[in-house]
Amino acid sequence: MKILHYWRALSGIVGREILRFLHQRERFISALVRPLVWLFVFAAGFRAALGVAISPPYETYILYEVYITPGLIGMIQLFNGMQSSLSMVYDREMGSMRMLMVCPLPRWFLLCSKLIAGTAVSVLQAYAFLAIAWAYDIRAPLAGYLYILPALLISGMMLGALGLLLSSFIKQLENFAGVMNFVIFPLFFMSTALYPLWKIKESSTVLYQLAQYNPFSQAVELIRFALYEQFNLTALIFTAGAFLIFMTAAIMGYNPSKGMMVRKGGGPE
């Protein structure tokens, strides 16, 4: 296969996903409404309870809305990753996944192309959220909006790979609600998206340990440090490692000879 064939496949998959996103305006609006509600409604109550927060990369007291902004960006990427897994299940039920998987290109490349497409959509959503937050005077340093891009790509690919892995287990759309309850919400609430890690430790040592080793927490911290022009090597290593694990497992899950679907009675369509 020539490089041109790979490029055509990648551009086609990414273009299809972006066009689907642009045509589904409700998806774009719903992706922003959820974090905006947390930012403008729930943050007021949390600020009243917590006062102000102090946590790296900040060295001074900060408003709670400023602290949770990176966490809400992580929320956007988390839900987008799950939305991408839902679209994979839908495409498999509709038969379009079969057309994709039987093409002569390697299966891992096709899955990576789907992952890149989903990550591109999540980055667009994240910057739209940052623009709205900027309009409401919740702002980061100007350079942070550029530094955050690599962090968004890495965290988006990690969470997208988790979505791909979950889609290899889900055989019907009806089962997706269970994933929402048992994967998304524990990942989000047992993380540093809403509270500093030291504040969680004051409440529960067990919850502190879970939040510390939660891959979503590390993704949020990577975004948080980058947005404020700092670099968190630990978060980068942890997030990149989680991506490699999730993506390897997802590729194995979609393998027609070794995947989970075969063990459940049928290969991916």
Is pLDDT of 239 > 90? yes
Q: What CA–CA distance (Å, rounded) separates 53 from 51?
A: 7
Q: What CA–CA distance (Å, rounded) separates 94 from 69?
A: 37
The pLDDT of residue 223 is 95
The pLDDT of residue 47 is 59
Q: Which residue has the higher pLDDT, 231 or 194?
A: 231
Comparing 18-27, 111-120, 207-216, 243-252, which segment has the lowest mean pLDDT?
18-27
Please report, as a single letter, which amino acid is at residue 33.
V
- The structure tokens listed for 159 are 């969470």
Residue 199's pLDDT band, with cuts at 50, 70 and 90, is: confident
How do the domains of the chain map onto residue ranges? 22-91+119-254
Is pLDDT of 14 > 90? no
The pLDDT of residue 244 is 95
The pLDDT of residue 23 is 74
The pLDDT of residue 233 is 94
Comparing 97-111, 116-130, 139-153, which segment has the lowest mean pLDDT?
97-111
On average, the pLDDT of the chain sits at 80
Q: What CA–CA distance (Å, rounded) separates 14 from 75?
A: 22
Q: Are 264 and 180 in contact (CB under 8 A)?
A: no
